[in-house]
Structure 1
């Protein structure tokens, strides 16, 4: 009898253990070591610039290595088709229009013409604030472009957004003097030459982690490669002429090749320090390419930077976290938004967001961990409120209407005055060639109503 009682106890214990294993949370528990987090935000990288996304400009073995060690997403979207609002959307987890960001930040006159703020409101939520409050060391190394530079001298400092340390470029409230010998974005007089900037930011990232041993780190590694001007090592300087001639395409290839080398240095540096296993590394871009070399930098997707077509907002996206995120996998179906990073990464770190935070992103941790799913929440974009404060693609067919919404398999674009309505089944027609607005009146009406409702809820500075 005793033998059967022991067997029953063992069976119950085994069942309870199995159930606990099956229900193991995807977040980091209080007893686990919180993961380091590094977000690599490339500047103006096209969807297919790198090899693992179909690029054939130059080999990119180190970025491809991230895909081999992690998970690649084919339907990741930036928050905007241009840098400043895209960066604000990622940092806050909110649509940038909510913080009066609609175009790139420039001087005060330009910003007023673009009907936007001069800098990100320091009261805005930010990933860095949430991670810092949870005991993380926080650093920003690279381009900022959310306030500061030109005649905007009153932009809040990095500490107001939750960063402990920073080294940044001209378009920031506190530019690194080694990168800004003159009052401009780039100069041949800079101590850190144009071709060495990414190397400099990688060095700062690794040094920051060295200086914070025993403490989890949250880091924005936001280089200004592969944005023009393209000044590759030992190559002639960028001529500034458009469209790009073959020599300048060669310059782009030189910059991309060096950029890949520096991503490799980061990955090797993490491994040498024993940090690779507990560091989430994300690789993506802020917006589409310009120039796009006739769409070849965006896998033939329509549009480029400055456009709400896929070429302007669909970005390469790779995430690696050894032992957690399945290596060498690709997710073709899950839509991911830049605004999703804040709720996803804080959840992984075991950070509970305050009840007062009302973001536009959703937790997509399950998709990161290998379980594809529909997003279940619409994505909205805007770009081009007027003809004064906005630039547009030189290729007429790439100039999109100024509003867009992605809802499941459908994407609708239209102008805020109700004109130029375009509907695409984005799963069947990712190059946006066949406008179905006339064929699908019910879906067109539904998405038009959603888009106009959203447009009316966001602030409009004058």
Structure 2
């Protein structure tokens, strides 16, 4: 009996030892597309063909209720990198010249004491790289922005809107030029090449890569020919389609390259966008959602989201119930990698949701866009939204800071935001109005 008991104890200790062994930290690649609409992907029912991105989706999991941190570039990127509402770091619009930043009531660059996903992963043993658009400081007349390495990146190659742009991409003082060594239509290829090189050179240790191309942002330059040179007018959508086709092809090259390196099984690939599209081509690029880039209506902030991780995530699956946001990526990826997580995140750890267990969100989502009438006048018409928004449960409320223009939507039943329920659900509107105003009042001023 004693011998049998001892054998059982040894068996238990063996099981616990195996279970306690450290699993390999996954590689992490975050693909942040620029200005991609919810309807740009055929796997989400859009009118354009994206077979390689569709293949990525078929190998992973699609989420249909993912939100960016802002309807415009710089604050959206800040929200993803820091896990916090970008206005907490005084980033409210796209970063411009110093005088224009002051008019937008924002800082000139992201402060280096802000939390950084790259820094946390680096502290956990990751090699960290950033390849693509930065736009969180630097460019134009902002010549005092900190280097990208100050945020925890070991290596980077970036565009003009950064503190140290790649000379191959910036022959002139603008976002692109005919004189650039890497032409506009070859940039995504270049960033994919840099990503694969970085992964190969750091094979054997976990890697975190921001692959942040500047496609699908205008100008759409599909190639060195008449159609490719952004002709405008009725050819505009054709130029967009040509760029999207090339972009899709390069995402396919990335997927194939990861497989050739033999690291596919334990590599997390996340594909999403920083904000919605502009123009929307009569809603085709937003799949009928209201709004556009620069708008807090759904088309400005609801983004495509795909995650692939063969070791943990079942292929060909979808989650149409769990609400995610860009702020969630910091705590979630820290959990999945064992990296330290600073306090104060506005996101939630949604690591279990990402791996396939749907769950109700317990934190409300907040947005602000529109500090003043002088610099936040767009988009025009019905796509222009109030300046504040909150989503909690099935409800989404929009309103201006002075309490005007309140709109309440059941966003699950009415994702196109067509029926304002503020009067018929006055108690809900009052509660959410109070919460979003309290949140707004807690944000720092630019001074």
Q: What range describes the TM-score normalised by the shorter chain of this pair?
A: over 0.9
Shift of 1:211: 1.5
SS at match of 1:317: strand
Structure 1 pair 49/20, CA: closer, same or farther in 2 (3 Å)?
farther
Per-residue CA shift, 1:372-427, capped at 9, x if unaligned?
11111100000011122224113x11000000000010000000011000000000
What is aligned with 1:218?
A: 208
**Distance of 1:30 and 1:256 partners within structure 2:** 44
Per-residue CA shift, 1:22-47, capped at 9, x if unaligned?
xx7xxxx7622111100000000000
The RMSD of aligned alpha carbons is: 2.2
What is aligned with 2:348?
A: 362
Question: 2:121·2:340 contact (CA, 8 Å) conserved in 1?
Answer: no
**Distance of 2:21 and 2:69 partners within structure 1:** 32
Q: Does 1:249 align with 2:226?
A: no
Question: 2:222·2:239 contact (CA, 8 Å) conserved in 1?
Answer: yes
**Distance of 1:192 and 1:343 partners within structure 2:** 36
Q: Does 1:443 align with 2:443?
A: no
Question: 1:230·1:237 contact (CA, 8 Å) conserved in 2?
Answer: no
Residue 402 (structure 2) aligned to one of 406, 417, 421? 417
TM-score (norm 2): 0.96
Question: 2:220·2:230 contact (CA, 8 Å) conserved in 1?
Answer: no
**Distance of 2:245 and 2:193 partners within structure 1:** 18
Q: Does 1:280 align with 2:268?
A: yes
What is aligned with 2:86?
A: 96
What is aligned with 2:31?
A: 40
What is aligned with 2:385?
A: 400
Question: 1:340·1:363 contact (CA, 8 Å) conserved in 2?
Answer: yes
Per-residue CA shift, 1:304-328, capped at 9, x if unaligned?
0000000000000000000201110
SS at match of 2:254: helix
Question: 2:230·2:236 contact (CA, 8 Å) conserved in 1?
Answer: no
Stretches of structure 1 lacking an aligned partner (at least 5 in a row): none
Alignment of 1:187-206 (within 5 A): 187-206=177-196
Residue 299 (structure 1) aligned to one of 257, 280, 287? 287
Question: 1:111·1:389 contact (CA, 8 Å) conserved in 2?
Answer: no
**Distance of 1:213 and 1:365 partners within structure 2:** 25
Per-residue CA shift, 1:215-252, capped at 9, x if unaligned?
111100000001000000244266768xx633110000
Question: 1:81·1:306 contact (CA, 8 Å) conserved in 2?
Answer: yes
Question: 1:229·1:238 contact (CA, 8 Å) conserved in 2?
Answer: no
**Distance of 2:123 and 2:340 partners within structure 1:** 11
Shift of 1:445: 0.5
Question: 2:88·2:444 contact (CA, 8 Å) conserved in 1?
Answer: yes
Per-residue CA shift, 1:48-107, capped at 9, x if unaligned?
1011111122x2111111111100000000000000000000000000010001100010
Question: 2:222·2:229 contact (CA, 8 Å) conserved in 1?
Answer: no
Stretches of structure 2 lacking an aligned partner (at least 5 in a row): none
**Distance of 1:238 and 1:413 partners within structure 2:** 39
**Distance of 2:375 and 2:109 partners within structure 1:** 16
SS at match of 1:138: strand
What is aligned with 1:265?
A: 253
What is aligned with 2:131?
A: 141
Question: 2:325·2:347 contact (CA, 8 Å) conserved in 1?
Answer: yes
Q: Does 1:384 align with 2:375?
A: no
TM-score (norm 1): 0.93
SS at match of 1:297: coil
**Distance of 2:75 and 2:347 partners within structure 1:** 15
